[in-house]
Amino acid sequence: MRALELPPRLRLIAGWVPEGAYLADVGTDHGYLPTWLRLQGKIRGAVASDLRPGPLERAKVTGSLYGTDNIEYRLCNGLAGIRPSEVDTVTIAGMGGETILSILKAAPWTAEGQHTLLLQPQSHEEMVRQYLAKNGFAITREALVRDRGTLYTVMEAKAGKMELSLSQVWGGIGLAHDPLADRYIVEKIVRTQMALAGAKRSTRLQARTEELREILTALLRAREEWRHANRRTN
Ligand SMILES: C[S@@+](CC[C@H](N)C(=O)[O-])C[C@H]1O[C@@H](n2cnc3c(N)ncnc32)[C@H](O)[C@@H]1O
């Protein structure tokens, strides 16, 4: 049997899981992340959960194929079937930002200071950053990873305080020396320009047009800051 290998996106998340953690992997699907972490001996145990029976079955198959112990499989919505005292680290990866937010909103214990969150939204990262800032979390690190041609952001969040500028909400946090950040911000700029062009065509979307203009300015500033931080001096 081939050794289990994680794609770059999950590999980055795995690297941030604290040594000896008890992990909740929400929306585990194939269960690769908890299985790999148990095989490496990096975590002491995990609850691998999914909303749907099919993916949870896939996770069980992965676990039994690799003979991993100390992983429990639970069918539940988000963190609804997981007690705060069972885990110290929560991973929520490969889901839209709105789904991640609904999972966090339904589990306010995640903001009480006992848990590390590792979040990898597939979309609407700005909503996730904004929600965390307004609901008692601080993003303690963020990084970008390219996986099969797509850029993903991974955030580590803990209970805390943070205030974000619009440039950080849209362009990410602490990415000044991330080599992928320029590409990431440029992609956001292009998407915002396209949305702005569409909004400008309708007189009903005046407020939205103004909002998009502000976002665009903030992203251009974020790009300028990244370029300044990465300017070669020789
Ligand atoms: C694209 S897969 C991601 C799998 C894995 N986490 C990864 O990043 O590779 C998304 C999984 O999340 C599950 N899911 C979606 N909404 C969920 C929710 N509210 N609670 C738990 N699982 C959910 C889906 O059933 C699916 O198996």
Give the closest residue to 175 by CA, choosing from 142, 147, 151: 142
Q: Is 125 exposed, middle or buried (0-12, 13-18, 19+ CB in 10 A)?
A: buried
Does 6 sit in the ligand 1 pocket, CB within 6 Å?
A: no
Residues facing residue 182 across a β-bridge: none
Decide if 37 contacts 14 (C-beta within 8 A): yes
Expressed in angstroms and rounded, the spacing between residue 107 Cα and the centre of ligand 1 is 16
Question: Percent of the chain scored above 90 by pLDDT?
Answer: 96
Amino acid, res. 162: M
Instruction: List, in sequence order, the alpha helices (H) in the chain.
Output: 8-16, 32-39, 53-66, 97-105, 125-134, 166-171, 181-200, 206-229
Ligand 1: residue of 9, 95, 118 to mutate (most ligand atoms within 8 A of CB) is 95
Instruction: Identify the residue whose tokens are 């998407």.
Output: 191
- What integer is the mean pLDDT of 6-29? 98
- The helix/strand/coil state of 36 is helix
Ligand 1: residue of 29, 37, 147 to mutate (most ligand atoms within 8 A of CB) is 29
Q: What is the pLDDT of residue 114?
A: 96
CA–CA separation, 15 and 229 (whole Å): 26
pLDDT at 232 over 70: no
pLDDT digit string, tens, across residues 198-207: 999 988 899 9
CA–CA separation, 44 and 153 (whole Å): 26
Q: Check if CATH label 3.40.50.11260 holds for domain 8-161.
A: no
Question: Which residue's CA is the nearest one to ligand 1's atom 11?
Answer: 27
CA 78 to ligand 1: nearest atom: 20
Residue boundaries of the structural domains of the chain? 8-161, 181-229
Tokens of 176: 């000044």
Decide if 95 contacts 121 (C-beta within 8 A): yes
CA–CA separation, 223 and 221 (whole Å): 5
- What integer is the mean pLDDT of 103-107? 98
CA 120 to ligand 1: nearest atom: 8
Beta-sheet pairing, 21-26 with 43-50: parallel
Q: pLDDT averaged over the chain?
A: 96
Q: What confidence category does residue 231 fall into, taking pLDDT thresholds of 50, 70 and 90?
A: confident
Does 178 sit in the ligand 1 pocket, CB within 6 Å?
A: no
